[in-house]
C-alpha cells in the first residue's frame, strides 16, 4: 500500500484511503441485502488505513444498515435535500439519512448536476446541511468533455471547489472528502489517465492549501471517480495525490468491488 502522509510538530498524519461504491439506481432491497451480506463476509478485514463505503438507493439504506452495522463497511447516501424538513415531496433530509444509519453522503455527483440541474450554490447548501447533521460529505467535482476540450478544466474545477466549500471552516474540512470525477469518464468506459487524475488532484490540493492552509490540505482525502475497475485501480492509486476511488458500475459486482478495495 502506498502511504501518503505529512510530518509536523504533532507527528505523522496519514490520509486514510476511501473506496466508496455508488450503486446509483440499481438493486432492490433483497438484492442490496444479499450484496451487503456477501461484502461483509469478504471484507471482515481491511488493509491498514483503508475505509470502504457503499451507497445504496434510499429504499435500501435501512435494510443494508442492519446488515453492515458493526462491520468495517460504512453506509453512504447518494444525495440529500438542503433543508432540514419541509414540504419537499420526494426529497430526503440529512436527519433522515442519519436515522437510516448513514455516516457519509455523496453531494454534487455529476449526474445530479447534469440531469437534475444542481448548481455550485446548491451543492454548498447541501454541504452545510450535511455537516450540521454530523454527516461526512463526499463532494463531487469535474469537468465535461466540452469544457476539457475548450481548455476550461482548471477554471471549472477551481470554481466548483471554492463555491462548494464556501463558508466551511477548517474544522469542517476534517470530515470532508473531495471526489474528482471527470464527467466525460462517468459510465463511458473512458478513464482519465493516472497522470491526468494526479494533475487535477494536485491542483485541488493547491486550491485547498490557498484557502485553508497546508495542514488542512495535507490531510484532505481527494478520491477519483470515473469508470474505475479492477484493471486500472492500482495505476490510479499509485499517484501521490489520489487517496481513493468513487466506484460506479464495478461496485455493483461483489467480486469486482472487493478486488478494487484490495487493490
Q: Quick: pLDDT tens for 192-219.
A: 899 999 999 999 999 999 999 999 999 9
- Look at residue 9 and tell me whether its pLDDT is greater than 80: no
Q: Predicted confidence band at 190 (pLDDT cuts at 50, 70, 90)?
A: confident
Q: Enumerate the β-bridge partners of residue 51.
A: 18
Residue in 36, 27, 91 with CA at minimum distance from that of residue 258:
36
Distance between CA atoms of 230 and 131, rounded to whole angstroms?
A: 32
Residues 6+ positions from 199 with CB-CB distance below 8 Å: none
Residue in 115, 117, 74, 79 with CA at minimum distance from that of residue 96:
79
- Look at residue 62 and tell me whether its pLDDT is greater than 60: yes
Distance between CA atoms of 57 and 43, rounded to whole angstroms?
A: 21
109 flagged as catalytic? yes
Q: Quick: pLDDT tens for 25-34.
A: 999 999 999 9
Distance between CA atoms of 29 and 163, rounded to whole angstroms?
A: 36
Distance between CA atoms of 259 and 263, rounded to whole angstroms?
A: 6
16: buried, middle or exposed (CB in 10 Å: 19+, 13-18, 0-12)? middle
Mean pLDDT, the chain, as a whole number? 93
Task: Locate 137 and state its grid cell.
Answer: 460529505
- The string of DSSP codes covering 30-70 is HHHHHHHHHHHHHTSS--TTEEEEEE--GGGHHHHHHHHTT
**Cβ atoms of 234 and 203 closer than 8 Å:** no
Tell me what pLDDT residue 56 has. 98
Catalytic residue among 82, 118, 143, 181: 181
Higher pLDDT, 185 or 98: 98
Q: Quick: pLDDT tens for 131-160.
A: 999 999 999 999 998 999 899 999 999 999
152 flagged as catalytic? no
- Look at residue 4 and tell me whether its pLDDT is greater than 80: no
Tell me what pLDDT residue 105 has. 98
Q: Where does 14-261 sit in CATH, by number? A: 3.20.20.70
Q: Predicted confidence band at 13 (pLDDT cuts at 50, 70, 90)?
A: low
Catalytic residue among 81, 82, 104, 109: 109
Q: What's the DSSP call for residue 252?
A: G
- Look at residue 1 and tell me whether its pLDDT is greater than 70: no
- Could you give phi then psi for residue 141, rounded to 5 degrees? -135, 160
Tell me what pLDDT residue 3 has. 37
**Cβ atoms of 93 and 52 closer than 8 Å:** no
Distance between CA atoms of 138 and 136, rounded to whole angstroms?
A: 7
- Look at residue 2 and tell me whether its pLDDT is greater than 60: no
In the chain, what is the straight-line distance between the N-terminal and C-terminal CA atoms, in Å?
A: 8
Q: Provide the H-helix boundaries in 69-144.
A: 94-99, 110-116, 120-132
- Look at residue 8 and tell me whether its pLDDT is greater than 90: no
- Look at residue 221 and tell me whether its pLDDT is greater than 50: yes
- Look at residue 11 and tell me whether its pLDDT is greater than 60: no
Amino acid at each position: 500500500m502506498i502511504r501518503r502522509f505529512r510530518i509536523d510538530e504533532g507527528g505523522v498524519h496519514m490520509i486514510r484511503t476511501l473506496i466508496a461504491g455508488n450503486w446509483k439506481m440499481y438493486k432492490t432491497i433483497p438484492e442490496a441485502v444479499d450484496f451487503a451480506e456477501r461484502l461483509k463476509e469478504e471484507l471482515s478485514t481491511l488493509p491498514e488505513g483503508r475505509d470502504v463505503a457503499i451507497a445504496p438507493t434510499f429504499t435500501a439504506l435501512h435494510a443494508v444498515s442492519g446488515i453492515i452495522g458493526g462491520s468495517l463497511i460504512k453506509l453512504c447516501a447518494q444525495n440529500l435535500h438542503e433543508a432540514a424538513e419541509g414540504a419537499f415531496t420526494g426529497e430526503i433530509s440529512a436527519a433522515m439519512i442519519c436515522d437510516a444509519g448513514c455516516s457519509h453522503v455523496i453531494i454534487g455527483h455529476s449526474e445530479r448536476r447534469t440531469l437534475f440541474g444542481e448548481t455550485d450554490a446548491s451543492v454548498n447548501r447541501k454541504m452545510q446541511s450535511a455537516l450540521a447533521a454530523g454527516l461526512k460529505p463526499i463532494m463531487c467535482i469535474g469537468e465535461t468533455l466540452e469544457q476539457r476540450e475548450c481548455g476550461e478544466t482548471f477554471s471549472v474545477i477551481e470554481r466548483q471547489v471554492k463555491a462548494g466549500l464556501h463558508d466551511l471552516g477548517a474544522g469542517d474540512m476534517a470530515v470532508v472528502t473531495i471526489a474528482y470525477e471527470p464527467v466525460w469518464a462517468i459510465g463511458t468506459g473512458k478513464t482519465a489517465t493516472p497522470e491526468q487524475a494526479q494533475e487535477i488532484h494536485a491542483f485541488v490540493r493547491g486550491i485547498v492549501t490557498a484557502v485553508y492552509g497546508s495542514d488542512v490540505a495535507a490531510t484532505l482525502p481527494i478520491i477519483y471517480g470515473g469508470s474505475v475497475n479492477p484493471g486500472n485501480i492500482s495505476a490510479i492509486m499509485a499517484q501521490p495525490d489520489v487517496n481513493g476511488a468513487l466506484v460506479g458500475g464495478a461496485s455493483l459486482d461483489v467480486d469486482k468491488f472487493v478486488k478494487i478495495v484490495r487493490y
